[in-house]
Amino acid sequence: MKRFVCTVIIAGITSAAPLAFAAQKTTEGSGALSLATVLALHDPLLTAADRVLLTQYLAGNPQAKHSKGLVVRLNTGAIACRSGDVDLAMHECTIQYGLHTITLEGRYAHELYATMVEASIQSGGAAGSVYESVTDLHCVIEADQISDEGGGGATCSYTQ
C-alpha cells in the first residue's frame, strides 16, 4: 500500500511539473512600452493612429497628441523568437495575432528578440540557438499616464 501511495504522489508531482513552468508574468514601464510598440508595427488589428502614437512614444515624445482617456490594447496568441549561437546571422520570430501569423527575419526579428530580453522575458536554449517565447501576451498602454511622465501607463502580461 505504501508503494502505491508513493507512486501516486510521484505521478501527481511529475504530471503537475509542466504547469509550474507556465506562469503568468508581468512587465511594466519602458520595457513594456517598447515591446508593445515593436509588436504594434506588425499588428493587423491596430489602427494606424495607435501605431503612430506608440511609435512617437518610442521616439521619445511622451507628449504626443492623443484623445483623453485613450487606452491602446495589444494582444498576441504567441510569440516565438530564435537567434543563432552557432549560425550568428540567424534571427527569426513568429507572431500570432488571432488567425494571422507573421514571420519576421533578420533585423526586425532581432529587434523583437532584443526587446523581449529588455522586457525581462527569460531566455531558453537548444542546440545551436537561443530563444524567447511567450503566449497570451496582453499589453495595455494608457496614453494619459504616459504623457504624465510619472513612470506608469505601460503594462504587458504574458504566460511563459
Please list the pLDDT of the chain residue by residue as tens digits (160 residues).
455 333 333 344 344 444 445 689 999 999 999 999 999 999 998 999 999 999 999 999 999 999 999 999 999 999 999 998 888 899 999 999 989 999 999 999 999 999 999 998 888 877 778 888 999 999 999 999 999 999 999 999 999 8
Domain assignment of residue 7, yes or no: no
Q: How far apart are CA 152 and CA 9, in angstroms?
A: 45
The total number of structural domains in the chain stands at 1
Question: Which residues lie below 8 Å from residue 49, measured CB to CB, with a gap of 6+?
Answer: none
Domain assignment of residue 140, yes or no: yes
The predicted pLDDT at position 22 comes to 67
Domain assignment of residue 17, yes or no: no
Domain assignment of residue 78, yes or no: yes
Domain assignment of residue 117, yes or no: yes
Domain assignment of residue 102, yes or no: yes
Domain assignment of residue 132, yes or no: yes
Nearest to 45 by CA among 5, 6, 95, 89: 95
Q: Give the H or E element holding residue 68.
A: none
Domain hosting 126: range is: 22-159
Q: Which three cell numbers stand for residue 5?
A: 501511495
Domain assignment of residue 14, yes or no: no
The predicted pLDDT at position 5 comes to 39
Global pTM value: 0.82
The predicted pLDDT at position 84 comes to 87
